[in-house]
Structure 1
Amino acid sequence: MSRQPLLEIAAGSLASALAAQEGGADRVELCSSLAEGGITPSYGMLAVVRERVRIPVYVLVRPRGGDFLYDDVDFDIMQRDIETCASLGFNGVVIGALNAEGYVDPRCRELMNAAGKLGVTFHRAIDASADLNRALDDIMGLGCERVLTSGGCANALAGAQVIAGLVRQAGERIKVMAGAGIRSGNLAEVVRLTGAHEFHGSARAVVKSSMRYLNLALKDLAPDIEQSSVEEVRAMKAQLAG
């Protein structure tokens, strides 16, 4: 029996998480600063989302933007963030780290230990690795339940053939979730080309600011907001249902 495809929405705010839920998403990846690839949300956001969102929520554990090479202090921060997520009752966390040579950092085992019974997704650090096949083997060795990947490409459609190879390599040992640049307009093609059963996107749309006064000199402080759209989430779910 074929598995029902699942849709995870990357939500950078409570509003986006609620839109994902209303639109029928199966799971939320909660983060902040989507523009820089996502970082760990504040405690306040974590607490309020956990109170108000009923579908499963996995929290991105990433202390900063940029590369995935972390020092001991970064690992300490990530372990404490994982402990916070566990204490608040989240369903899982999203982790990932590489060493300077581009291979999965063995210290990820410490993050797995901190996660305990939480579900664990390994994030797109795999796409920055020196060898995706070796990285997938290492991630499976850690015991992660899934890995998010664009196949090492700028988006999942461009990396679809690589993702398909990772799906075959993984077999039933780990879930391979396709993500990056996925929208309702290309999701059916990504499904067809990858053979994956889990898909990840932000479903973002621009929400115009309600500010009546705007200082037009502040070009670096754009007032409009990007957040997940209920309609786009529904459209993506419809593609998976078709």
Structure 2
Amino acid sequence: MSKIEIACFNPESAITAFENGADRIELCDGLSEGGTTPDFETVKHLHEKISIPMFVMIRPRGGDFTYTDEEFEQMKSDLIQLKSLNVDGFVFGILNENDEVNVEQNTELVKMAKPYPCTFHRAFDRAKDLEDSLEKVIGCGFKTILTSGQQPSVSEGKENLKKLVELSAGRIEILVGGGLRSTNIEEIREYTKAKYFHSSAITDGGAFASAEEVVALKNT
């Protein structure tokens, strides 16, 4: 059985994921933007109701992953505020103007988040050079990389995902996500040998996680 993280863009999805056996929740806002920082009150309210780990997205806007000084200050401020709620971890990723991992800014946020673990999100899939980016993310102190293998979906990126699992050699968790569903998780798991998987569990093109899909992801 795989470990499953559900990306939740609203409180209803988070409750659905929790009640149907998800191992972890990635909480965000901004579904149409691919995930942004959720509202403080929403996180506070959910944290009181959910007993599985909840990682919170720190991303001030949609679009690219290179931020202005003002946006970076906002990320730091959001992280400190949300850290006060004792959430279980944070999810973010910053690239520089050349689409390389921004070692300085990411390291600063990882240190600010301590003792909570951090996941480098799918900004990784926009970064240049698979191996170099992997080493930089490990060097910044992240515990997990969320990736579709630098391809539009996990099915297209499975060769790179397999390579990342091998190259990481247990130094960092490769969290496989991006077009992952209960219909393809078995094939991707067998091929990549990854152990942790990420999905929104949205099956109807809407905004809410499907209870049936969460169960299917967990049990396939």
Count residues in correspondence.
Answer: 219
Amino acid at match of 2:70: V
Between the aligned partners of 2:33 and 2:192, the Cα distance in structure 1 is 26
Which stretches of structure 1, 4 residues or longer, exceed 4 Å deviation after superposition? none
**SS at structure 2 position matched to 1:40:** coil
Partner of 2:185: 187
Partner of residue 90 from structure 2, selected from 84, 93, 118:
93
Q: Quote the offset at 1:206 in angstroms.
A: 4.1
Between the aligned partners of 2:144 and 2:203, the Cα distance in structure 1 is 27
Q: Quote the offset at 1:15 in angstroms.
A: 0.5
Between the aligned partners of 1:96 and 1:103, the Cα distance in structure 2 is 11
Partner of 2:126: 128
Q: Quote the offset at 1:98 in angstroms.
A: 0.3
Verify: 1:74 aligned to 2:71, yes or no. Answer: yes
Partner of residue 25 from structure 2, selected from 28, 31, 54:
28
Between the aligned partners of 2:41 and 2:203, the Cα distance in structure 1 is 24
Between the aligned partners of 1:227 and 1:18, the Cα distance in structure 2 is 10
**SS at structure 2 position matched to 1:121:** strand
Verify: 1:238 aligned to 2:198, yes or no. Answer: no
Partner of residue 107 from structure 2, selected from 106, 109, 114:
109
**SS at structure 2 position matched to 1:227:** coil
CA contact (8 A) 2:178 2:198 kept: yes
- Mapping for residues 1-242 of structure 1, pairs under 5 Å: 5-106=2-103, 107-206=105-204, 225-239=206-220
Identity score, percent: 39
CA contact (8 A) 1:14 1:45 kept: yes
Q: Quote the offset at 1:22 in angstroms.
A: 1.2
Q: Which has the larger radius of gyration?
A: 1
Q: Deviations over 1:151-209 (max 9, x none)?
A: 111111110110110111100110111100111111101101111110000001449xx
Between the aligned partners of 1:85 and 1:5, the Cα distance in structure 2 is 29
Q: Quote the offset at 1:35 in angstroms.
A: 2.1
CA contact (8 A) 1:27 1:55 kept: yes
Q: Which blocks of at least 5 consecutive residues in structure 2 are unaligned?
A: none
Amino acid at match of 2:9: G
Q: Deviations over 1:89-121 (max 9, x none)?
A: 100000100001111112111111210101111
**SS at structure 2 position matched to 1:200:** strand
Between the aligned partners of 2:153 and 2:215, the Cα distance in structure 1 is 21
Q: Quote the offset at 1:142 in angstroms.
A: 0.9
Between the aligned partners of 2:197 and 2:146, the Cα distance in structure 1 is 9
Between the aligned partners of 2:183 and 2:207, the Cα distance in structure 1 is 19
RMSD of the alignment, in Å? 1.2
CA contact (8 A) 1:40 1:63 kept: yes
Between the aligned partners of 2:179 and 2:20, the Cα distance in structure 1 is 19
Q: Quote the offset at 1:131 in angstroms.
A: 1.0
CA contact (8 A) 2:40 2:82 kept: no
